[in-house]
Amino acid sequence: MVEVTVTPQSSLADRPVQLRVRGLSPSQLVTLRAWLKDEQGECFQARAFFHADETGEVDPGRHPALGGSYTGVWPMGLFWFLQPDTIFRRLVKRDVAGSPFLIHLEVFDGLRLVTAPQEQPLGSCQAERWYVGPGVQRVPIREGRVRGALFLPP
């Protein structure tokens, strides 16, 4: 049974998380994929290829990505290298206080440059990335020509 975990599962967008895959065969070649849909329904995704270690585990914080959206050891690489499916789109969070981005994390056997919709991952999980912490108050600012928002901690 392949298990994908992200710790913590819910966090602020600027906080690091730890991603782990367990239950693989030793030295198994896998593709880790992260994807999300923004508030307009645009899909953003990143993928990286890894060899599982001798215990059948992949940890992007310790194991180097062999290719994909990035190479090398990047603990947050799948989050940082998200790219739009449609060119010239930017990942922007408009409703910062109301809802998080839900990032889907999946692991597939072998190298997967493109993932077919019917293809089932070996394992998956979701991570919530919030832009405003609990209890933070958002105060709109409209003073003369100045427009903005003030975020007050609890």
- CA 100/CA 98 separation, integer angstroms: 7
Query: Residue 3 has what pLDDT?
Result: 97
| C-beta of residue 98 within 8 angstroms of C-beta of residue 134 | no
Q: Which H or E run contains 152?
A: strand 146-152
Q: What is the pLDDT of residues 58-88, one digit of tens each?
A: 999 999 999 999 999 999 999 999 999 999 9
Domains along the sequence of the chain with CATH: 3-152 (2.60.40.2240)
Query: Residue 53 has what pLDDT?
Result: 97
Nearest alpha-carbon partner for 52 in 81, 6, 20: 20
Nearest alpha-carbon partner for 114 in 18, 26, 33, 8: 33
- CA 7/CA 17 separation, integer angstroms: 5
Query: Residue 114 has what pLDDT?
Result: 85
Query: Residue 64 has what pLDDT?
Result: 98
Low-confidence ranges of the chain (pLDDT < 50): none
Question: Which residue is associated with the tokens 């394992």?
Answer: 123
Question: Which residue is associated with the tokens 């990335």?
Answer: 129
Q: What does 57-110 look like in DSSP terms, one character per residue? A: -B-TTTSPB-EES--B--TTHHHHT-EESSTT-----S-TTT--EEEEEEEEES
Query: Residue 121 has what pLDDT?
Result: 96
- CA 79/CA 13 separation, integer angstroms: 9
Task: Give the pTM.
Answer: 0.90
3-class DSSP string for 71-82: CECCCCHHHHCC
Query: Residue 85 has what pLDDT?
Result: 94
Backbone dihedral angles phi then psi of residue 134, each to the nearest 5 degrees: -60, 135
Query: Residue 116 has what pLDDT?
Result: 79
